[in-house]
Structure formats: structure tokens, C-alpha cells
Chain A
């Protein structure tokens, strides 16, 4: 056999190995990005439920609204316990957080917000709640974008054939109602 062929084969194998190793690197980075995004979403969800709870117990809301928000916020906090690896647990938490979004949306209409803002300390609470709700929305969006990019790469034939993703579990998008009460959303 012509030795040139041998050189060519070695080079091709080398390049292919390089490609595989780079792709593995990309996958690793994407998994890390998803982990960070999950942490961030978790932090902002916790922030939101604690501010909601604070608002509900501050006496600034009308009594009925206060009870609705307090209950939803408490349920969301309880559902957040645990490491979130269990699919069932994740589903329960998503439901509780969606319920909190709906409770906030139902309670905080324009009039209610104006009234709370007018009382001392109320403005800061509302601002904080709005900020955390907006950040929940953003982090969930960015998380799902990372999941989409990762799934796309993991579906490539090379990645599947050579098991480049190793044993890491398939990433999942987070589905929950994260709507911000209309008067608090930005333009």
C-alpha cells in the first residue's frame, strides 16, 4: 500500500478525534449553562415567593387578597423543598409556582397596587415583587433556550453514536405560568 494513504488515514482520524473532543467540550459547557440557569431560576422563584409572603403578611393588601397570596406563596415555598431531581416533585413545584402567578395576577390590579404604593414601605415591596417576577420570566426563558440548544446537539447522530453526553440526564424545559401582573410588566 502506498504510504501516503497511511498518512492521510492518520490525519483524518486525528481530525475526527479533535472534532469529537471539541463537541464533547461544547456539550459539557451547555450542561453547565443549564445547571447555572436552573440555579438562577430557583433563586428568583424563591425570592418571588418570599416577597409575596412578606407582602401578604404586611397588612397592606385587602384581607381576602392577602389570604389568597399568602396561601399560594406558602404552597410555592413548601413545594420548593427537596433537590428537584424527581420529575414528580418538579411537576408539583411548577404547579405551585403557576398558582402563585395566578394569585398575584388576580390580586394585584391597578387600584390595589396604587393603594399599596401609597402606604409607607409599600412601594419598595411592590418594586421588589415586580423585579423578582420579571427575573423569573427571564431566567426561565434563558433556561429553556439552553435546553433547546443542548437537546439539538444531543440529537446529532455523531453525539448519539459516540455517546459524547456520557451519563448526564436529558435536559428538560420548564413549563410554568410565569406571567407578571399586567400593571407591573414593563413596556
Chain B
């Protein structure tokens, strides 16, 4: 049965980002299942926008949740949200990051009916409270079902805001990564991805392990792809380690896929701060053998070490041992990569979307529609009673049509 589904993305459509690509992948997969999908997002540049994206207003750069986010809010954005809900005639509206002070929160306020939300990031308590406990509470009460993309995001919701959520992990477009090359044709390389100066990405742990690794495998190459100042990192490295390293700088998504398909081993020496580890799934989808630190998120993705090798977090010696063990044993490495590929398939959007559709079906009853919510606004309530708004709305439609 085909549904009319509205998705709300709080961050600018033109800027690459985790939530933004999640929304777009979800929209594409839902469309491939025959549903009618429309995405509401802040848009900077209206040219070559897909026809299924609605412009929610120009984004403004504001500091939010530890970085600068491009959000849309204000009177104009609110008006667009309301028009989108009215004209969309949606069976379900799925709001991403419902507390983000952008189109998401505005939609929580302006809509009623079958609303579903996905919680992506983990906030700390103070931030949620500054955002206004009352605001958060009233917005959340309207959500009929909540999804969290990671155990950490879920813990934030349950512990700090109050409320339950089902865990549905991020999807990966596995086929984009699927290797045409078998392990045999891969280069004897270690691959590191991520911002090189960010301590939590753990490049320092890998570099410290390098001498021990090179003792056993002197000709090993290490590819480091990620933004940051490589000169700074190279300073003070032993010469043979320096020689083994190649820095690629920031790379495009496509280049990242190629790199993951070429290397035998992908190393994830993260020391924390990862809530899900999507890059591990991408590496497994590309057929690389994964060696990763045993932080909880990675342990879960790697099935406790069956789909990749785990080593003690922050321990260079353990890292060296793990890397050497998979480099030395071709059969073991290929077995891990094969198991990893099958694990990655479980995170494919085509599988994940079924769980999302289950959630949609479990919050709505036949005939349910998302409509505008005029309650809670003193003026809105008065206006609804006196037909004030309805009259004005008619005017506006006429103006738009002429």
C-alpha cells in the first residue's frame, strides 16, 4: 500500500552531513518501494533540487550542538512548514532530530497526527535543559513513535528527556561500496580514515604501533585520508614510519569508496566518541578486513569480533598484534572480510527501511492523516473558532494561484 510520507530534515540540504544523507537515502529507498515521499529541508540554492524536496527557507548559520549548523527558523519558515503540512496531505510525517531548533521543532509544533521522530545525536542534559524543558516536553508529547539510530542516542532520550525509542541503526548503501576486486588483488595496505588531528580518531595510537608492525612487515604502506595538517603529524616520526605513510588529505565520498576497495585492512583506532561506527560498515561493505578498537559501538557492529578483529582501545601494542595477525594469515583475513560483508548487508537501506515501515504502520490507524495543529497557540485557537485563519488562508491561495 502506497503512503504519502513527509520527511523533515533540520539541516541545510546543500551541505553534506550525517543527518542530511540519512534523510536523502531514506527518501530514495522509500520512493523505490513505491511510496510518495516529500522532504522539507532548508535550501540555499534552489537550482537542481530534486522534485521531491521542498524548500523550507534559507538556512542561517548558528552555533548548535557543538558546531555551526545551518538551520531555518522564524516566521517565514513557520509559514512554509504549515503550508507544507496542509498541501502535503501526509499519512505520516517523520521528523529527524525533533529538538533541533529548525524546521524539525517547528513541525512538532505545527502538526498533529501520526508523527514519528528519529533521534540521531546524543545531547547532554544541560543542553536539553537550555533548549527549554517545557518546549522539549510539549514537542515530544506529540510524537507517536521514536526511533534512535544508536544505543547512545537512545540513552540520551530515555535518561535525560524521558521517553522510549526503538533502536534502528543507520542504513548504508552497501552496493555503492561492493568490491569488484577480491582480496587477492588488493594492495597490502593499511587504511586510516578521519580527521588526523582529532585525538578521538586515534591516529596517534596507530602511529605509535607502527614500528612494531614494520619490524614484521617492512614493506607495508599506510594510507591516511582525512583533513588536517600532515606536516605537523610527520614531525618527529621515525624515518621508516614516515616513509610508510602517504597522506591523501580530505577525500570525496567516491574516493573514499575506492580507497576502501583497494586496501586489505581498514584500521579504526578510535578512542571514543563514536556512537555507531558507520565507517566500519562501509569498510565491511567494500570487502576490507576491519581491525578496530573495542569501544562498545564497534564491538556491536563487529559482532564481538566475528566480523572484524578487535583490540584493546588506546593500546598500541594490542593494535600492532591485531594488525599483524590478519596480515600474516590470508585465510583468516578473507574469512573476516567475508563475514564482514554479510554483516554489512544487514545494515543495507533495503533491510533497514522495512523496520522503519514497521514503525510507521504501528503508529497509525487507517484514515489517519497529519493535519495542522492550532491548539496550544492562544491566537491560533481563537482564530480557528472565528474562521479568521481560514479566511486569510483562502486569500493566500488565491494570491499564489494568480
Chain A interface (Cβ within 8 Å of chain B)?
A: 18, 21-22, 25-26, 28-30, 33, 36-37, 39-40, 43-44, 131, 134-135, 138-139, 141-142, 144-146, 148-149, 152-153, 186-187
Inter-subunit contact B164/A145 (CB<8 Å)? yes
Given contacts A135-B358, A142-B144, A142-B362, contact A36 B368 (CB under 8 A): yes
Chain B interface (Cβ within 8 Å of chain A)?
A: 112, 114, 138, 140-142, 144-146, 162-164, 166, 346, 351, 354-355, 358-359, 361-365, 368, 375-376, 378, 381
- Give the complex CA separation of A40 and B367 in angstroms: 12
Nearest chain A CB to B356 CB, angstrom units: 11
Inter-subunit contact A139/B362 (CB<8 Å)? yes
Inter-subunit contact B378/A149 (CB<8 Å)? no
The CB with the most chain A CB atoms within 10 A, among B162, B164, B368, is that of B164
Inter-subunit contact B376/A40 (CB<8 Å)? no
Inter-subunit contact B365/A43 (CB<8 Å)? yes
Inter-subunit contact B363/A139 (CB<8 Å)? yes
Contacts of A187 in B (CB 8 A): 346, 351
Given contacts A26-B376, A36-B144, A37-B144, contact A141 B166 (CB under 8 A): yes
Closest to B354 in A: A186
- Give the complex CA separation of A129 and B166 in angstroms: 20
Contacts of A39 in B (CB 8 A): 365
Residue in A18, A21, A28, A40 whose beta carbon sits within 8 Å of that of B362 in the complex? A40
Inter-subunit contact A141/B141 (CB<8 Å)? no
Given A21-B378, A134-B358, 15 extra CB contacts under 8 A? A25-B381, A29-B141, A30-B141, A37-B144, A40-B362, A40-B364, A135-B361, A138-B145, A141-B164, A142-B145, A142-B363, A145-B146, A145-B163, A148-B164, A186-B355
Contacts of A28 in B (CB 8 A): 375
Nearest chain B CB to A29 CB, angstrom units: 6
Contacts of A145 in B (CB 8 A): 146, 163-164
The CB with the most chain A CB atoms within 10 A, among B140, B363, B364, is that of B363
The CB with the most chain A CB atoms within 10 A, among B138, B166, B362, is that of B362
Contacts of A153 in B (CB 8 A): 141
Inter-subunit contact B376/A22 (CB<8 Å)? yes
Contacts of A134 in B (CB 8 A): 355, 358
Given contacts A40-B363, A40-B365, contact A149 B376 (CB under 8 A): no
Nearest chain A CB to B261 CB, angstrom units: 25
The CB with the most chain A CB atoms within 10 A, among B140, B145, B346, B354, is that of B145
Given contacts A25-B375, A29-B141, contact A131 B358 (CB under 8 A): yes
Nearest chain A CB to B348 CB, angstrom units: 11
Inter-subunit contact A152/B376 (CB<8 Å)? no
Given contacts A135-B361, A138-B359, contact A26 B166 (CB under 8 A): no
Inter-subunit contact B362/A44 (CB<8 Å)? yes
Could you show 20 A-B contacts with beta carbons less than 8 Å apart?
A: A18-B378, A21-B378, A22-B376, A26-B141, A28-B375, A29-B141, A33-B142, A37-B363, A43-B365, A131-B358, A134-B358, A135-B361, A138-B358, A139-B362, A139-B363, A141-B164, A141-B166, A142-B164, A145-B163, A149-B163
- Give the complex CA separation of A105 and B364 in angstroms: 27
- Give the complex CA separation of A57 and B88 in angstroms: 43
Inter-subunit contact A149/B346 (CB<8 Å)? no
- Give the complex CA separation of A152 and B364 in angstroms: 23
Nearest chain A CB to B131 CB, angstrom units: 18
- Give the complex CA separation of A25 and B144 in angstroms: 16
Inter-subunit contact A152/B162 (CB<8 Å)? yes
Inter-subunit contact A29/B375 (CB<8 Å)? yes
Nearest chain A CB to B381 CB, angstrom units: 8
- Give the complex CA separation of A130 and B160 in angstroms: 33
Residue in B112, B164, B359, B361 whose beta carbon sits within 8 Å of that of A29 in the complex? B112
Nearest chain A CB to B6 CB, angstrom units: 18
Nearest chain A CB to B385 CB, angstrom units: 13
Contacts of A138 in B (CB 8 A): 145, 166, 358-359, 362-363
